[in-house]
Every structure is written in structure tokens, then in C-alpha cells.
Amino acid sequence: MSKIKITVIKKFSPMDVFGHEIIDPPSGQVSRICSEFEQGQEYIVEGLQCPEGFCRWAWHDLYKDLLVLLFGGEHSWTESGVMYTSCTDGKRPVCFKLERIRGFNF
């Protein structure tokens, strides 16, 4: 099975997405940019194990795309061994680049 490198490409705030702040009920606090990741942060996925410290919500969102790459699949809209995807947190999404690591390709 392949290894996959996950790179955090971009984080978006509610202001980026909606053009205004979003208030989180029930706290009444302004929703901020995702604090789980930093742009440029990288993780290595071996097998189907979630990397230590990786957000479970984002893992669930990336899982289908990870499976495609892990098992040798491709998409016609990206270069070979690469996929771009995102977390589905609609208020503060995070975009990721998934890359099959050379030497582990099918």
C-alpha cells in the first residue's frame, strides 16, 4: 500500500467565506479561523491510520480521497498521484493537498 503526504494548503476564516463574522451559538463568541492546523503543516499517512493530532472531522472528510490515492487511483483533473480536497467545516474550511509518496506508487 502507498504512503500519502497531506499538506495544509490554505485556511479560511468566516470573513473569507461569507464576507462577515459568524457568531457561534451558544457561546456568543465570534467564530475564528481553524486552530487545528497551520498552513504548510505536513502529515504522512501509512495505511489507513489517522495521523497523531489530526482533526477527526477533517480526517473523515479526506478519507475517500485518501483511499483513491492509497490504492493507486487517479483523477483526470490533477497531476498523477495528487489530489486537492478540503474539510467540510463550512464556516472555516481548510484546504489540503494529498500526494502519493514516490517509491510507493502502484
Domain housing 41: 3-100
Residue-wise pLDDT for 6-43, tens only, equals 999 999 999 999 999 999 888 999 988 999 999 999 99
Residue 74 lies in a domain: yes
The residue that leads in pLDDT, 103 or 30, is 30
Question: Residue 19, Cβ neighbours under 10 Å: how many?
Answer: 7
| Any domain includes 13 | yes
CA 76 to chain centre: 20
* Residue 106 forms part of a structural domain: no
What does the pLDDT look like over 52-96, one tens digit per residue?
A: 999 999 999 999 999 999 888 988 888 999 999 999 998 899 999
Q: Is residue 85 assigned to a domain?
A: yes
Q: Is the pTM of this model over 0.75?
A: yes
**Per-residue pLDDT at 104 exceeds 60:** no
pLDDT reported for residue 1: 65
Q: Is residue 105 domain-resident? A: no
70 located within any domain: yes
Q: Is 40 among the domain residues?
A: yes
- H or E stretch at 9: strand 3-11
What separation, in Å, do the N-terminal and C-terminal C-alpha atoms of the chain show?
Answer: 8
Is the residue at 60 inside a domain? yes
Q: Into how many domains does the chain fold?
A: 1
> Tell me, what's the pLDDT at 105?
45
